[in-house]
Structure 1
Amino acid sequence: MAILKSVLRFKGKLEGMNAYLPKNRDEADGYILRKNGGPSAKKIAKLPSCEPIRRNNDEFGTCSSAGKSVRMAISPVKHLADMNLAPQFTSLCRHLLMQDNMNKVGSRTVYFSDFGHMMSGFSLNKNHLFDSVVRHPLSATLDHDTVTAVIRIPALQPGVNLVLPWQQPMYRFIISLGAAGYYLHQQPPVSFITPWHTSQQAMEAATVTLQLSNGKINNNECMVVAVGVEMGTMVSDTVVERVKYTGCGKILIAG
């Protein structure tokens, strides 16, 4: 390992060397310079000693694909996230994959139908959690026979059980129902959006019923209900525009 302190500083790979600045390290302390190492992709693909690496790579691909299916299932709400959901859902699906005790390492899969319920309550935010904004919990029930979800929104009073930390004049709720499984043959989610309310306006209790358009889910799929609060601003007397980088959401229930 070497430390690069010259005037010419760079990040990335160059002539077999890799330069980078570790987290929490000041540039004045210099970049870390290492020689690229490890087996090549060709060796990883063929050497018997790299079999564990190949198995781990296969499982990472499985988790990545499963995570993509979850992102697609909640696509009407995912824009409310304040973090990169790809690695978050890949990590979440890794936990689901670890529940597979029937297959060997490298052949394990994500059984959404059996373990998808573990995704319930997953937050899409780090800065403002949905449960800290909506302090009277929503409830939902799933009917797998009719692939229907019934979501109940309680009566909400701003400043009491609805605490909006964003300085925007309007808010509304978005609710979605999707199916997580194999994204290559994944059916599109359905959603419901409430009317806009002023930030000081109470919202009456409501019941929302959503049904997947295909009328069924496959054996290794699960239903996923996501909910979010979206903020808006007045463009004219009749037009409200969504404000980017505000709002929050969560996976309300999965199973």
Structure 2
Amino acid sequence: MARQTGIIKLKGTIGDISFYKSSDGHLARIKGGPDANRIANDPAFQRTRENGSEFGRAGKGGKVIRNAIRVLLQNAKDKKVVSRLTKTLVAITKTDPVNERGARTIQDGDMGLLSNFEFNTNGKLGATLFAPFDVAFDRVTGDASLSLAPFAPTIRIAAPAGATHFKIVTGAAELDFPNEGSVFESDETAILPYDAADTAAIDLTVTVTPNSVLPVIQVVGVEFYQEVNGQMYPLKNGAYNALMVATVDTV
């Protein structure tokens, strides 16, 4: 892979060289490698097919998660969240002790590896919210809760420059990876002033399917706002909002 540095940036293919644009800039690479038919049928590529199958399954699993928490994720994500999430899910797939290589799944792996996953590396919850909080999930009732004792925002929250207000959000997602479906509910505080006065105690609860046998994740986040002439605006379009997987519960 090479970087294009000239004034004119190319896209497309010339001979064996492909020119393209990515998040890393304008790049170029030489086409090559075995053709698709050989990869699909040659015994020498059995391991490649197995890896490809599991990578594809991880990619679909990442889409299930992103679609499930879309309401919150659209306000708190970075440009590489898709690839980062897929990488984590590939690692989870590899821990599956039940299925054969190539058929391993996310739900049969150690989904605990998803705990503390940050959806926005530009605004990590672990570097934003310093107020202690408790999360709990009751599989029998389907209730997922978030609790914070009163705290002073300017002391317990590291807000980006320009923030005048914030809110705390949480959500729980019941994930059906085989059928690429989910159940999701979210809750949030009111928009609160970012000042030195203690907040009231915060208790948020959402409910998914009672007695579900599917994996459930709970996310916690902080969203920032700026007040201008009495109107609240998302600060820098949510560039520094935080959202993290706070807990993972499996049967």
**TM-score of the superposed pair, with normalisation by structure 2:** 0.83
Alignment of 1:32-47 (within 5 A): 34=30, 36-47=31-42
Alignment partner, residue 241 of structure 1: 233
Q: Does 1:70 align with 2:83?
A: no
Q: Structure 1 residues 4, 134: CA separation in 2 closer, same or farther (over 3 Å shift)? A: closer
How far apart in 1 are the matches of 2:215 and 2:248?
Answer: 7
Alignment partner, residue 156 of structure 1: 151
Structure 2 unmatched ranges of 5 or more = none
The two structures, once aligned, show a CA RMSD in angstroms of 3.1
How far apart in 2 are the matches of 1:22 and 1:187?
Answer: 31
Q: Structure 1 residues 108, 240: CA separation in 2 closer, same or farther (over 3 Å shift)? A: same
How far apart in 1 are the matches of 2:6 and 2:182?
Answer: 54
Larger Rg: 1
CA displacement 1:131-173 (0-9 Å, x = unmatched): 2221123211111111111211232212322221231222111
Q: Structure 1 residues 197, 41: CA separation in 2 closer, same or farther (over 3 Å shift)? A: same
Q: Structure 1 residues 236, 186: CA separation in 2 closer, same or farther (over 3 Å shift)? A: farther
Alignment of 1:1-150 (within 5 A): 10-19=10-19, 34=30, 36-79=31-74, 80-111=76-107, 115-150=110-145
- 1:83 CA drift (Å): 3.5
Q: Structure 1 residues 181, 11: CA separation in 2 closer, same or farther (over 3 Å shift)? A: same
Structure 1 unmatched ranges of 5 or more = none
How far apart in 1 are the matches of 2:123 and 2:4?
Answer: 39
3-state DSSP of counterpart to 1:188: strand
Calculate percent identity across the aligned residue pairs.
Answer: 20
How far apart in 2 are the matches of 1:130 and 1:191?
Answer: 17
Alignment partner, residue 199 of structure 1: 194
How far apart in 2 are the matches of 1:169 and 1:202?
Answer: 15
Structure with greater strand share of residues:
2
**TM-score of the superposed pair, with normalisation by structure 1:** 0.82
- 1:180 CA drift (Å): 2.4
CA displacement 1:12-63 (0-9 Å, x = unmatched): 42233335799999x9xxx7663x2211112222222222221111111111
Q: Structure 1 residues 189, 4: CA separation in 2 closer, same or farther (over 3 Å shift)? A: closer
In terms of mean alpha carbon deviation, does 153-162 or 167-176 score higher? 153-162
How far apart in 2 are the matches of 1:99 and 1:73?
Answer: 23
Alignment partner, residue 228 of structure 1: 221
